[in-house]
Amino acid sequence: MNTPAHPHPHTQPHTWFITGSSRGFGRNLAIAALEAGDNVVATARRPEQLEDLVRRYGDRVLPVPLDVTDRSAAVAGLRAAVDRFGRVDVVVNNAGYANASAIETTPEDDFRRQFDTNFWGVYNVSTEAIPVLRAQGGGTIVQFSSIGGRVGGTPGLGSYQAAKFAVDGFTRVLAAETAPFGITCLVVEPGGFATDWAGASMRIPDVPPEYDATVGRMVRLFGDAAAQGDPKRAGEILVRVVKHPTPPSHLIIGAGAVRMAQAYSRGQLEEAAAWEAVSRSADFDQPPVDLPAPTPEAVPRP
């Protein structure tokens, strides 16, 4: 694709390419970017769900059909974005979903389908976006993960959290490889937000009795918990963060997510310190050591 250079990257409107724009974070981010005066290529598997955005914001919105598991659709979507707006400044991989069930009882095809969207969809869009961003001299790739993609361990979300961990590892390497091209990568890690993530879009089969204390308990929390995060405000924050001269590599959003991240990091440091001598003793020049004495309580985890 031919991508003309942007004459004044700091004064011209940004062009955003956002997957999963029909609802949740994607929709709120699209609106926040449009309210900031930017252009948005809003993608969805059913682009008719985006017609109200076109009515409201006119030709600054380009609705594009996109199933992120279809690599050819990602190519076509990015080409349409460049054809309409001349360049793409921000690529946002937001599309994703989770079903809740124990790893043991999740059908393999369901586990794989979730991973196809939550990881391979990110891979498809990111790798097709790189040549576009490189040719125009830079841009930003935003990957929506979750706080679970940092701390993990949520019963019932094996495929979803495995994919989010994979997205983080993938993006760390991507950031290192593409930094010389002027490409910035940002991983977003939300906590509990008032979106449909745990609503109609989540399939929850019957939980076997042996998993009631773990998966069953978590499923009940999904239904009872009142999400504290405001997706509208999160979208507005993210538009500002992306335009910051030195954005973070990872952005935690939501007070609960901050608490979880900090507790997890403290636990990691405490565990590494407790087992440091054992870890070091694996080297040729180190003497063998005894294992630490058992502790009455496990290392604190979120």
Catalytic residues: 145, 160, 164
Say which amino acid occupies 184: T
Is the torsion defined by CA of 11, 17, 20, 21 positive or negative? positive
Query: In terms of C-beta density within 10 A (0-12 exposed, 13-18 middle, 19 or more buried), how is residue 20 classed?
Result: buried
Closest residue by Cα to residue 218 from 192, 190, 187: 192
Query: For residue 130, how many other CB atoms are within 10 A of its CB?
Result: 17
Closest residue by Cα to residue 243 from 130, 134, 140: 140
Contact at 8 Å (CB) between 81 and 17?
yes
Closest residue by Cα to residue 235 from 73, 48, 20: 20
